[in-house]
Amino acid sequence: MTSFSYAANPVRVVFGSLDTLGAEADRLGLGRVLLIGRPRHGDRAAAALGPRLAARFEDATMHTPVDVTERALKVVAEHDVDGVVAIGGGSATGLAKAIALRTDLPQLIVPTTYAGSELTSVLGETADGRKTTRRTPAVRPETVLYDVGLTLELPVPVSAASGLNALAHAVEARYAPDANPMTDLLAAEATKRLMAALPRIAADPSDVDARTDALRGAWLAGTCLDTVKMGLHHRLCHHLGGKFGLPHAETHAVLLPYVMAHQGLDDADDVFELAASLPIPHSLAELGLTEADIEGEPDLLRQALHGTRPAARPSLKALTKQVVDSFAGAPDRVRLLLTELVETLHGYAIRTDLTQDEWEYAIGFLTRAGHITTDTRQEFILLSDTLGVSSVVDVLTNSRTPDTTPSAVLGPFYVDGPPETPQGADLAAGLSGTPLWTDIRVVDTADVPVADAIVDVWQSNEDGFYDVQLPDVDGPVLRARFRTDAEGRLRFRTIVPSAYPIPADGPVGQLLDAVGRHPYRAPHLHFMIAKPGYRTLITQLFVAGGDYLDSDTVFGVKDGLIADFAGGRLDFTFRISGSSA
């Protein structure tokens, strides 16, 4: 069985009449409302709000430009607004979300098109010709009020384009890597309603039943979009829309069948035929783009540029299923791990539209990591550390024993079987650095001392190198194994650890350079504490006030592991739990 999670959309959805707008505002406790919307519907909304209306803003703009948001925020401040009501299409909704992001004001949205964005925690904003998208619960509206009567006068071309835009939300949920049985049901119902409704609206714009089906389909499609990650379709539309100022809904409508075909969806041709029958633009060229504009972009845009029938591609979902089915005979845990891995990797390739060159570069990167790995240099652990994977696994493991000392990543320089060393020994063996006297206690979760525990300790020298990195060093340095005494105590001498860079001369270092990240670790001492009958604790102690505590390159710092090294002395108590905990 494939595991999944589903979180229900918390938005209050009301299908009714605009006349109830005031009552819905009261339900949210709004007394001084900013109304966003053009006069066409805004005047009716203003009348329904009555004395709750504090100010109006009529300049909502496609792609939510940041400068327009800043103007609206001035109105919010001037009129002491306590909530936002937006009536209109995606532009009005986008502006309301942008205001909520910056003010945390509640939102009440009244859609007049089939945008669907009113149901989501997604906000796209444009600045300097570039559209960026973020997902945060802070922009999800509190209430959405649907009144089918507001859509009856919506021109057929706008109805068709916004309906296909809504359909794109449902379609993308079908191939999203985090899709689940609930979103599958919502997407299927949304697709059925929208594809049936749009031709009827084109034939008779006053068909209330068709308009109702389209509005409900948009609602379900928007709910899908709020539940799963956006993929290739939205990424392309937002990129082109922000770069060239293309109309939002029309861009979605043009690209939808081409992305569907690219993703191997069987009904891509049906959607192409539907779009071709509607009075909307059918190519990117009709939206003003040229061959030069799409140079270097994905190949599917060339078909979309000219509006030719999209070339079908084998179903990628079927390919993923075929691979997953091949694990049917594996043990349960192995099957689960491999299934999740394949679905995640396939989903990543699909979402990013991974190219052959990019895939080959990734294989080369891993090959170089393998070549540089030795018994004393583990580049794959370094990669896991710098991508935060090691810390994720560490948190998952440690969260099962919350009463113990927090764990931390093992790191690439642990060496099994360090020499057992008597208490009070000096690990630094004359190395330069600030002397440090370390007094450690090991207790269980009831504060009972744990005697005869094996404690491995290791650290780098003052220059940031571990002994295994130094070919001239003969034998272990700044590395030892101790046993706790009858009181669970452990004492030794060493030097105060320094911040240091991880090895940056290999593929991982090139990765950090490429993304503009530094390679430094916050100063720390490594500990591994083990005893039969107890869960092994792998952890680190970080120097309070040390460099890079807030930007440790392997994301290993936890507040409970920051210790006081002042005065050249470290006193710390580790808590470990029984192995059954």
What SS3 state is found at 304?
Answer: helix
Q: By C-alpha distance, which of 28, 300, 317, 304 is closest to 173?
A: 317
Identify the CATH class of 1-151. Answer: alpha beta
Residue 231: its pLDDT value, please? 81
Tens digit of pLDDT for each residue in 191-215? Answer: 999 999 999 999 999 999 999 999 9
Ranges of residues in the chain with a pLDDT under 50 are none
**Helix extents (H) in 290-388:** 300-306, 316-325, 332-352, 356-372, 379-386
Residue 400: its pLDDT value, please? 67
Residue 39: its pLDDT value, please? 94
The CATH H-level superfamily of 156-313 is Dehydroquinate synthase-like - alpha domain (1.20.1090.10)
Residue 117: its pLDDT value, please? 85
DSSP 530-569: E-TTB--EEEEEEETT-TTTTS-TT----GGGEE--GGGE
Residue 2: its pLDDT value, please? 61
Q: What is 386-576's CATH number?
A: 2.60.130.10
19, exposed or middle or buried, with CB in 10 Å at 0-12, 13-18, 19+? exposed
4, exposed or middle or buried, with CB in 10 Å at 0-12, 13-18, 19+? exposed
12, exposed or middle or buried, with CB in 10 Å at 0-12, 13-18, 19+? middle
Residue 468: its pLDDT value, please? 85
Q: Which amino acid is at 541?
A: L
Q: How far apart are CA 278 and CA 292, in angstroms?
A: 28
Q: How far apart are CA 47 and CA 34, in angstroms?
A: 13
Tens digit of pLDDT for each residue in 234-251? Answer: 889 888 988 898 998 899
Give all strands (DSSP E) within 465-514, no chain letters.
479-483, 489-495, 500-501
Q: Model's pTM, two decimal places?
A: 0.61
Quick one: tokens of 310?
């999209």
